[in-house]
């Protein structure tokens, strides 16, 4: 297993990517204004919730002792896999839902 600092850095990088994507989506939604569909609003809300869950887990991990960190890292793996999947691929589907309103 990677060392703690490496894990925390990787997780922070994933969160940073997610923050950029959410901000891009917020900007597009702002451009749409009242024309934004409920589906697009729901997709953005889901993305924000997932990002917040990732931030919460990172905070828990950074505050944990070394022993707690190892245990928490195992239980948090699924959350990070979900966040990583959304950042890498899931955001594309959310973005596509928003883009369809620009065409």
In DSSP notation, 33-58 reads GGG--HHHHHHHHHHHHHHHHHHHHH
25-34, 54-63, 66-75, 88-97: segment of lowest average pLDDT: 88-97
Tell me the two tokens of residue 29.
């939604």
User: Greater confidence, 77 or 66?
Assistant: 66
The model's confidence at residue 89, banded by pLDDT at 50, 70 and 90, is low
Q: For tokens 């245990």, what's the residue?
A: 71
pLDDT above 80 (res 72): no
CA 29 to chain centre: 18
At residue 91, the pLDDT reads 60
Question: pTM to 2 decimals?
Answer: 0.68
Give the contacts of 25 (CB within 8 A, at least 6 positions apart).
43, 44, 47, 91, 94, 95, 98
pLDDT digits (tens, 9 = 90+) for 3-34: 888 888 888 888 898 898 889 888 888 888 88
Q: What is the pLDDT of residue 92?
A: 62
Query: Tell me: the pLDDT tens digits for 34-58?
Result: 887 787 788 788 888 888 888 888 8
Closest by CA to 43, choosing from 57, 25, 59, 58, is 25
pLDDT at 4: 82
CB 8 within 8 A of CB 58: yes
């Amino acid at each position: 297993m990677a060392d703690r600092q490496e894990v925390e850095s990787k997780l922070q990088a994933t969160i940073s990517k997610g923050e950029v994507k959410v901000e891009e989506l917020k900007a597009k939604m702002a451009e749409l204004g009242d024309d934004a569909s409920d589906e697009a609003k729901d997709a953005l809300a889901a993305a924000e919730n997932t990002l917040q869950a990732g931030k919460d887990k990172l905070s828990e991990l950074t505050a944990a002792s070394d022993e707690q960190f190892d245990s928490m890292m195992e239980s948090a793996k699924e959350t990070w896999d979900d966040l990583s999947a959304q950042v890498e691929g899931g955001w594309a589907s959310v973005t596509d839902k928003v883009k369809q309103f620009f065409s």
